[in-house]
Amino acid sequence: MRKYIFLVAIFFLFLENSLSQETDIQTKRQSDSIYTNAIKARGVKIIPIRNKKYKVWTKKSGTGKIKLFLLHGGPGTSPEYFENFPSKLGKNYTIYFYSQLGSYFSDIPKDSTLYMVESFVNDIEEVRQSLDLEQFYILGHSWGNQLAQAYAVKYPEYLKGLLLCNNINEKYEVIVEHQTQLYANILEDIPEYAKYADSLRFGFSGKFSDFSSPDALGFQIRQKAWPIMLEKHYARLVGQMPKALRLSKEHSTGRLMSELGFMQRIDSIDFNKYLIDIKTPTLFIGGKYDFIPSSYYVKMRDRMVNNQNVDIYICPNGSHFTMWDDQDNFFQAVDKFILKIEKSNPK
């Protein structure tokens, strides 16, 4: 039960109202002015990958010396929720946005064999070469962290620093346990379901495992608890959801990623193995109210036994989208970490 509740919770933010079939996505894009404008926007470069069979969208913003490459979450979320990075980081930065294969602004082939972590790592390298990036920083968020870790191990020579934001490596061993407690806490504040809080908290799972029928208790609880989970632990922006964050959800192809088996492939990989081999200076950024417990970042740092330059910053007001619900602290932490590296390694 706990595994299933977690999967519903972690993916539903982007899967609900998202695009499920390739034909639906193509139809939507044809009539979507946001898509058309994004393709034609200033700084956009469409890059062929995988022997030029597919194309991915990138956009360059700014002319600063510091090069920061962004890896969005999901998989399948659009990179739109990174919109505030250029204005928050300022003129010292050049920001590179990248829509991974299968996400809204890039090609979305419906071939399950194309969606492999190793292939996505190689895609980044092809994009890097096309953009002529040397000595740059990668910032990953959520699923983008796992991709960033894999890239940092395979291509460390190009990186000056690695920023892992709201990172999840151990979904079942660590995150599931913590998020189950968060759900139990939420139930305690819903009068009609408060009596089930301890049953959920202590693992008596039978009543909560059925999400298939509107008459099932699990389904009813999720309908009540999930919006509260979003407001408390995903984006603490009640009544003021930024347009960029809303669009990244609406444009998510996460349901298709799941249908093609990519979610399952990601879950089968032990990403902690990458941490052991990463030597690039690394910053973990978390949020006090995220569904990822703050203590988890210490465990990840302790696994980086070959890295002497690892920092942790927990945004005191943030949850999972710390770049939006704790903007000042998030971007100050990003800038401080990068400037520290720039002073010690100005090349």
Compute, in degrees rounded to 10, the torsion defined by CA atoms 82, 87, 91, 95.
10
Structure tokens given for 307? 């890295």
Query: DSSP code of 212?
Result: S
Q: How far apart (Å, rounded) are the C-alpha atoms in residues 272 and 262?
A: 19
Asked whether the CA dihedral 296, 297, 298, 300 is positive or negative, the reply is positive
Structure tokens given for 12? 């539903």
Asked whether the CA dihedral 303, 276, 65, 83 is positive or negative, the reply is negative
**Which strand ranges, in their side-by-side order, compose the sheet holding 282-287?**
44-49, 54-61, 93-99, 66-71, 136-141, 159-165, 282-287, 310-315
User: What does the DSSP assignment read for 220-234?
Assistant: HHHHHHHHHHIIIII
Q: Which sequence positions are flagged as catalytic? A: 142, 290, 320
Within 10 angstroms of residue 333's Cβ, the number of other Cβ atoms is: 22
Return the closest-CA partner of residue 207 out of 228, 186, 188, 222.
222
Q: Are 154 and 274 contacting, i.e. CB atoms less than 8 angstroms apart?
A: no
Peptide bond into 293 cis (omega under 30): no
User: What does the DSSP assignment read for 17-81?
Assistant: T---SHHHHHHHHHT-HHHHHHHHSTTEEEEEETTTTEEEEEEEE---SEEEEEE--TTT--GGG
